[in-house]
Structures are given as structure tokens and as C-alpha cells.
Amino acid sequence: MSQTPVLWSFRRCPYAMRARLTILYTGVKMDLRDILLKDKPAEMTDVSPKATVPVLNTGTEVIEESRDIMLWALAQNDPHGWLDMPAEGYAMIDTNDGPFKRALDHTKYAVRFPDRDATADRAKAADVLFGLNDRLVNQPHLFGDAPKMVDTAILPFVRQFANTDRDWFNAQDWPHLIRWLTAFETSDSFKVIMVKRPIWEPGAAPSYFP
């Protein structure tokens, strides 16, 4: 790698969180550029007109999907075998990014969808979460004693869902899910990736991460 890869990121975006968590785990050094979604710099949209975060510019390619950024970083370094995961793990990420995320958005932004039944949308998301809880009954992570890519890919979205109504979330009968989420939210890795950085400006010095 001739130049330090540049990662465009938004601190509170769950897609960007999973990219940063993976980069932290792999230790692949980036220039991390925090932006605001309401004020995206032309330097970002010039390389990625799609204009979503995260975006990774490796110097030789521009990667515009968070899952592909995770896979790119894990291909550089995967010290504890996150990629050593059954195909089912990828299917679970598909469910998260598709039906679960849609139900989450419909729950979170219910006022924007007056024609939808918010209770039904929340129940749809909860169905997926009960499935995760079942998996976690006898193990701390989705595929056993050690986390895999899928844990990191999904957890920021479970957190986002929990934050739509913590009291309701904590009152549900999914203790293993709550334990898994709590371990994530109190982890050192989560703290590190959530450290506030100044918003990137043209000419700013590199902000190295990790």
C-alpha cells in the first residue's frame, strides 16, 4: 500500500461503526475523516458520488459498501479468525441489512410512515432479534466462544434498535440478546471507535486510526 487508505465516516452511523470496528480489529492504519451527513465534503462525493458513508479509498480502489470494507480489511489481517464463519453468518448479515434494517427504520422513523403499522414493524424486527437471542443462549457470541464478522456486522444495528425505546427493549424476554448487546456497548473497542474527532476540513492533517 503506497498511501494511507482514507476512510470517510460518520460517527453515529451503524454502517460506519462496523467498518471502524473491523479496522480497529485488523489494525490496518487509515486516515479517518469524520463528516456530517448534512454537509458532505466534495472531496468525498468526488470519489464516491453515491454519497453514503462509510467510503474507503484504498488508493487503488474506492469501496462504497460497509460490508465490502469489512471484507477488504479482514483480507489484510484477521488475527482471531473473524472470517472463519459458516455461510449462515453471511445470510444473517443479509437479513440484518435487509428486512431487519427496514423494520428498524420503520420503527425509528414511524412519524414519517403514517400509513404503516409501527407496532407490526417493531414486531417484525423483534422476530429477528428473538432468533439471535435463541442462538446466544449457550454461547457469548453468535457462533460460539469467539466473535466472528457477523457479530460486529449486526451489533451496531441492534444497538440502534434498542435506542429507539430502551425501556421497551429491556423489558423483552431476550436476556441473552441484552447480555450480548451490553458486552458490546461496554467494550473497549466500542469506546475507541466512538471517540469524537473534529469534523474533517480540506487541508486537515491526517487523523490516523487505529
Binding footprint of ligand GSH on the chain (CB under 6 A): 10, 13, 15, 37, 52-54, 65-67
> CB-wise, 26 or 133, nearer to ligand GSH?
26
Cβ 127 vs Cβ 133: under 8 Å? no
User: Which position's Cβ is nearest ligand GSH?
Assistant: 13
Q: Least distance to ligand GSH from the beta carbon of 10, Å? A: 6
Q: Least distance to ligand GSH from the beta carbon of 136, Å? A: 24
Q: Least distance to ligand GSH from the beta carbon of 52, Å? A: 3
> CB-wise, 37 or 120, nearer to ligand GSH?
37
Q: How far is CA 18 from CA 1, 50, 188, in A?
A: 22, 19, 14
> CB-wise, 13 or 142, nearer to ligand GSH?
13
Q: Least distance to ligand GSH from the beta carbon of 66, Å? A: 4
Q: Least distance to ligand GSH from the beta carbon of 160, Å? A: 9
Strand order in the sheet with 208-209: 62-63, 55-57, 6-9, 30-34, 208-209
- Helix or strand holding residue 20 (H, E): helix 14-26
- The residues facing 8 across adjacent strands are 33, 55
Q: Is 78 helix (H, G, I), strand (E, B) or coil?
A: coil
> CB-wise, 105 or 176, nearer to ligand GSH?
105
Residue 138 φ/ψ, nearest 5 degrees: -110, 15
For the purposes of burial, counting CB atoms within 10 Å of the CB of 136, is it exposed (0-12), middle (13-18) or buried (19 or more)? buried
Region of 51 (left: φ > 0; alpha: ψ -120 to 50; beta: rest) is: left
> CB-wise, 40 or 141, nearer to ligand GSH?
40
